[in-house]
Structure 1
Amino acid sequence: MKLYSVSDGPPSLACRLGLKALNLDYELINVDFGKGEHMTDEYEKLNPQKEIPVLVDDDLVIGESNAILQYICDKYDTAGKFYPKNPASRAIVNHRLCFNLAMYYRNISEYTLAPIFFDYERTPLGLKKMKIALDVFEKYLTQTNYSFAAGDSLTIADFPLITATLCLEAINFSLVPWPKIDKWYHNFKLKYPELWEIAAGGLKELSYFEKNPPDLSHMIHPIHPIRKIPK
């Protein structure tokens, strides 16, 4: 099994958390985002979306972090520890995965990460959208009173939500106004230090880039405008 991963990418980190939680052996292949390795013809053969991560397991080649997490659990988590077999419980996990992808990580990354790596600004509208996403997650945690994102035990739903939330810590954005999220986030750190160690590596890199934005002016990107660093 191989995981093509970027060292500070929240979706890549989420997959690494899942692989670690399941104690699976795999080869970690670093894709250098700064060098544009994900934009090469060779990488496009693995993922026409040219996005990271990608998992290769025997004949299966699959992108999208949610799909990767669901696949490794369907194949290797036979007891349903991290991806419940019960339809109702699984539905909540699936919902949180979709919520993260469609709203939570999307709004957080647009405000925190896009201005670090691309020609975007942190705007009042971006901040408002991010706070709305945080408000929604806070309500989910309040309504259910779960210890984790989708239940009273750790599931794959927690992994992408954790790695999205660490983007806030990378820019020193306080979670104090969202006490349920703050408690859940720090509870994960305390209860799963071996998993948090993986996430913390990405956090360290993002914190560095927040203070020292990388120069990606050499890279061509089909969607995002590249920000030029003043000489």
Structure 2
Amino acid sequence: MKLYSVSDGPPSLACQQALKALNLDYQLINVDYGKGQHMTDEYAQLNPQKEIPTFIDDDLVIGESNAILQYLGDKYDVNGILYPKDPKTRAIVNHRLCFNLAMYYRNISEYVMAPIFFDYKRTPLGLKKLKISLDVFETYLKKSNGKYAAGDKLTIADFPLNTATMCLEAIKFSLSEWPHIEKWYNNFKINHPDLWNIAAQGMKEITYFEANPPDLSHMDHPIHPTRKI
């Protein structure tokens, strides 16, 4: 198994957490985002979207962190602990994965990550969208009254939500207005220090880049405007 990963990328870190939780041996291949290694023709042969992460297991080559997490759960979580087999319980896990991708991490990334690496500004609208996402997640956690994102047990849904929330801590954004999120987030750190350490390493890099924005003007990105230093 191989995981092409970026060292401070929440989707990559979520996949690393899952691989760690499942005690799987794999080769970690660091993709240097700053050097544009994900934009090369060679990488595009693995991932035509030129996005990170990409996962390889025998003849399977896939991108999209949700798909990777679900595959790992299906194939390697034989007891259905991290990826429950009960349809209703699994539906909640799948929902949280979709929620993170479509709303939670999307709005966090636009507010936290894009202004660090590309020519975007933190705006009142971006902050409003971020707070709406936090309000929604707070509601889900309050209604479920569980210890984890999808209930009373750790699942693959916790990994991307945890690494997304880590971005907020990296810029010292307080979660005090969202006590259920804050409690869930801190409990993850306390109860799963080996998994949290994976996110913590990425958080250190994001905090550094927040204070010292990288110069990516050399990188010809097809979508995002390059930030000028």
Q: For the superposition of Structure 1 and Structure 2, which TM-score range results when normalised by the shorter chain?
A: over 0.9
Alignment of 1:58-207 (within 5 A): 58-207=58-207
Amino acid at match of 2:145: N
Amino acid at match of 1:184: W
Q: Separation in 2 of the partners of 1:144 and 1:155?
A: 14
Q: Percent identity?
A: 77
Q: Separation in 2 of the partners of 1:60 and 1:13?
A: 20
Q: Which residue of 2 aligns with 1:218?
A: 218
Amino acid at match of 2:109: S
Q: Separation in 2 of the partners of 1:125 and 1:91?
A: 31
Q: Separation in 2 of the partners of 1:154 and 1:207?
A: 27
How far apart are residue 76 of structure 1 and its match? Answer: 0.6
Q: TM-score when scaled to structure 2? A: 1.00
Offset from partner CA, 1:145-204 (integer Å, 9 cap, x none): 011000101000000000000000011000000000000000000000010111100000
**After TM superposition, which residue ranges in structure 1, 4 or more long, deviate above 4 angstroms?**
none
Q: Which residue of 2 aligns with 1:47?
A: 47
Q: Separation in 1 of the partners of 2:41 and 2:172?
A: 37
Q: Separation in 2 of the partners of 1:18 and 1:183?
A: 21
Unmatched 5+ residue regions in structure 1?
A: none
Q: Separation in 2 of the partners of 1:174 and 1:109?
A: 16
User: 1:50 aligns to what SS in structure 2?
Assistant: coil
Aligned residues: 229
Q: Separation in 1 of the partners of 2:33 and 2:80?
A: 34
Amino acid at match of 1:13: L
How far apart are residue 73 of structure 1 and its match? Answer: 1.1
User: 1:113 aligns to what SS in structure 2?
Assistant: helix
Q: Separation in 1 of the partners of 2:211 and 2:58?
A: 41
Q: Separation in 1 of the partners of 2:144 and 2:185?
A: 16
Q: Which residue of 1 aligns with 2:36?
A: 36
Q: Separation in 2 of the partners of 1:134 and 1:15?
A: 22
Q: TM-score when scaled to structure 1? A: 0.99
Offset from partner CA, 1:54-97 (integer Å, 9 cap, x none): 00000000000000000011111110010000000000000000
Unmatched 5+ residue regions in structure 2?
A: none
Q: Separation in 1 of the partners of 2:213 and 2:134?
A: 26
